[in-house]
Amino acid sequence: MTTVESEVGESSDPAEPDQAKAKKPPKSTKARLIDVARIVAILLAVGFLAKQLVDNWAEFWRTLGDLAWQSTTLSMVALVVSIAVSTRGWQAMVDDLGKPIGYFRSAQICLVGSLGKYVPGGQVWAALLQMELGKKAGLARARIFTASLIQLGVGIVAALVLSLFAMPSVFANSPNAAWLMVGIPIGLVALHPKVLTWGTSLVLKLLRRPPLDHRLSLKTIGNVFGANLGAWALQGVHLWLLANSIGAPGFGGFVQCIGAMAIAMTAGTFAFLLPGGVGVREAVLVAVLTATGITAGQALTVALVSRVMFIVADVITTGAAALSVKFLKAPAAE
């Protein structure tokens, strides 16, 4: 059992007698307040998500008519699959830090918690909500936080690698983007097991949490990195299917869309004060899409439709994860 796992303070014996479970003391006032706060946080996240959906829905339907239905359908499928692939990467990291919890249990924590990104404060709220949902499921908050922290860092490096596909367009619109080229080799070095373990432990130490008690394996890091590459690439496919239906040139546009989506999503992550990175993501997409041969108006249309489809995909995947609680028995808590 790892250090981040040991904070749970619960019996690790999966064969704990039912009588012992029945004799658990009633929840303290603090525990009840935490439960209430957890519910309020979820409702708040859902409320902000619904607001974004309502605010963009009318314009979404007006612009959707310009796109082929086959493209929009396949584009939505690509988005849903990308979220599923990203969740697999998060699960790989969580499983490395303790007893494996399985894909569906991971999805329930990761996807429902990720709705926090729609609240101003973005990834901060998402991480906090995932930690609380993990704790509710019997997992240490530190374990969930550590997994989310590593997933975020590895995801940024994967996005930087894919951003190479869109570099010509990026440099044409923003010469100051040369920092991306510097970040790629630094990021790849940071993925070395020794470096990533040291860096993660340093962050945990600064936060006054116990450091990792084992070195992260190359296999685990590779799984997380590969899942993030796959997720970013699928989101690029989603963008290309939309743009290509109104004129983005074939394969060249396809390659640039993959790089554009990776850059846009990463930029939106850093703009954490904006719900879902709204505005920042669209600006990057318009800048790159116009370089593929479509007009600025068409590019903005694609960016808007993409945002609403992301929200719908989050609703679909989160709803499926939440419903799985009723049909799948969760594994025993740590």
Residue 165 domain-assigned?
yes
Residue 199 domain-assigned?
yes
For residues 77 and 201, what is the distance between their CA atoms, to the nearest angstrom?
A: 38
Q: Name the residue among 306, 266, 271 with its Cα closest to residue 286.
A: 306
For residues 4 and 7, what is the distance between their CA atoms, to the nearest angstrom?
A: 6
For residues 217 and 197, what is the distance between their CA atoms, to the nearest angstrom?
A: 9
Count of domains forming the chain? 1
pLDDT digits (tens, 9 = 90+) for 89-118: 999 999 998 888 888 888 888 888 777 676
| Residue 59 CB partners (closer than 8 Å, separation 6+) | 304
Tally of residues, the chain: 334
CA dihedral 199, 202, 203, 207 (to 10 degrees): 170
- Residue in the block written with tokens 């969740």: 87
Residue of higher predicted confidence among 178 and 84: 84
Residue 66 domain-assigned?
no
Q: What is the DSSP string of 198-216?
A: HHHHHHHHHTT-PPPSSPP
pLDDT digits (tens, 9 = 90+) for 71-97: 888 999 999 999 999 999 999 999 998
With beta carbons less than 8 A apart as the criterion, state whether 256 and 165 touch: yes
Helix axes 103-114, 296-327, angle to 10 degrees: 130
For residues 293 and 285, what is the distance between their CA atoms, to the nearest angstrom?
A: 13
Amino acid at position 234, single letter: L
Residue 257 domain-assigned?
yes
Structure confidence at residue 297 as a pLDDT band (50, 70, 90): confident
Q: Quick one: 271 exposed, middle or buried, by C-beta within 10 A (0-12, 13-18, 19+)?
A: middle
Residue 64 domain-assigned?
no
Residue 60 domain-assigned?
no
- Residue in the block written with tokens 């979404």: 60
How confident is the model at residue 83, as a pLDDT? 93
How many of the other CB atoms lie within 10 Å of CB of 235?
30
How many of the other CB atoms lie within 10 Å of CB of 278?
17
Helix axes 69-96, 296-327, angle to 10 degrees: 50
For residues 54 and 64, what is the distance between their CA atoms, to the nearest angstrom?
A: 15
Q: Determine the structural domain holding residue 157 and report its residue range.
A: 29-53+78-327
Residue 4 domain-assigned?
no
Percent of the chain with pLDDT over 70: 66
Q: Is the pLDDT of residue 262 over 80?
A: yes
Residue 13 domain-assigned?
no
Please give the DSSP secondary-structure letter assigned to residue 139.
-
